[in-house]
């Protein structure tokens, strides 16, 4: 476990559980949903070398060769990459490295987590090193609906566009629609303003990123998720290419 302590924030990073943030305390409050039986639904974890689901767990390389990805977490689709269930190598304070398995041979992902006065900076980078499979990145933080004090979490999120979801499998169809009201398990683009979560009377968390796509999940009874991503779920099948660098700043303040 990596530990980073700042003046206001203490972070614990579990290298053997996807190098995820397993604990994040700002002042006297804990901002991480704890383990709930599956790696999909706890902590703050990164998603690489893909974010979200990939239809039927099939990815095609630049030569047109189709490769099979693991589908054990949400069959029949692959979900969230390898990083969130892998053991990472520590390379420095808040830094970790992962050599990806086949079919992403030779590709490497690096993660950097920095603790500032009242903020956490999270950086994820992908190096292909000759691997010609598509790759895109994402962050998947699980914020508790309830803190030790204050009101229940309220998600403040606005975007100009939302991806339509298939009624059959929940994957994006590629069609862009007007955003609907919550609850959400949806991908968005052209975000308006700074997304945030507010626990009335306790804390506010602002999430800043240049990410072009975001997924917001508010259908869980214990946590909410605001996920910046370099491409949406199933990006390859939508014809969307994602950047190999992702950065986000999570800033805490009193409410």
Give dist(CA 252, CA 208) in Å, integer: 12
Q: Given this model, what pLDDT does residue 167 score?
A: 86
Give dist(CA 89, CA 87) in Å, integer: 7
Domain boundaries, the chain: 2-253
Cβ-Cβ contacts under 8 Å for 128 (sequence gap 6 or more): 106, 107, 135, 244
- Tell me the H-state helices in 87-215: none
Tens digit of pLDDT for each residue in 5-61? Answer: 999 999 999 999 999 999 999 999 999 999 999 999 999 999 999 999 999 999 999
Give yes or no for a contact between 29 and 9, defined as CB atoms under 8 angstroms apart: no
Cβ-Cβ contacts under 8 Å for 60 (sequence gap 6 or more): 66, 67, 133, 134, 236
Domain topology for 2-253: Beta-galactosidase; Chain A, domain 5 (2.70.98)
Q: Given this model, what pLDDT does residue 168 score?
A: 86
DSSP secondary structure string for all residues of 43-87: SEEEEBS--SEEGGGEEE-TTS-EEEPP-SSBTTBEESBSGGGSP
Residue with tokens 């990410």: 211
| pTM of the entire predicted model | 0.97
Q: Given this model, what pLDDT does residue 169 score?
A: 87
Q: Given this model, what pLDDT does residue 144 score?
A: 99
DSSP state of 144: E
Give yes or no for a contact between 188 and 162, defined as CB atoms under 8 angstroms apart: yes
Task: Give me the residues of the chain with pLDDT under 50, please.
Answer: none
Q: Given this model, what pLDDT does residue 249 score?
A: 99
Q: Given this model, what pLDDT does residue 170 score?
A: 87
């Amino acid at each position: 476990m990596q530990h980073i302590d700042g003046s206001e924030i203490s972070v614990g990073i579990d290298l053997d559980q996807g190098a995820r943030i397993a604990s994040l305390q700002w002042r006297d409050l804990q901002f991480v949903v704890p383990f709930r039986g599956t790696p999909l639904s706890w902590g703050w974890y990164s998603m690489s070398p893909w974010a979200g689901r990939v239809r039927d767990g099939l990815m095609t390389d630049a030569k047109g060769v189709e490769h099979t990805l693991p589908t054990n977490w949400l069959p029949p689709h692959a979900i969230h990459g390898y990083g969130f269930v892998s053991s990472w190598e520590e390379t420095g304070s808040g830094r970790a490295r992962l050599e990806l398995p086949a079919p992403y041979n030779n590709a490497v992902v690096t993660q950097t987590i920095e603790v500032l006065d009242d903020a956490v900076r999270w950086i994820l980078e992908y190096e292909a090193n000759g691997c010609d499979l598509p790759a895109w990145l994402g962050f998947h933080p699980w914020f508790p609906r309830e803190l030790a004090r204050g009101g229940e979490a309220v998600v403040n999120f606005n975007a100009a566009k939302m991806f339509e979801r298939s009624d059959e499998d929940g994957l994006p169809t590629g069609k862009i629609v007007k955003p609907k009201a919550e609850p959400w398990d949806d991908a968005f683009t052209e975000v308006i303003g700074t997304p945030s979560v507010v626990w009335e009377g306790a804390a506010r968390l602002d999430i800043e990123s240049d990410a072009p796509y975001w997924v917001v999940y508010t259908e869980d009874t214990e946590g909410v998720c605001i996920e910046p991503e370099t491409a949406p779920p199933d990006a390859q099948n939508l014809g969307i290419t994602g950047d190999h660098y992702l950065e986000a700043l999570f800033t805490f303040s009193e409410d």
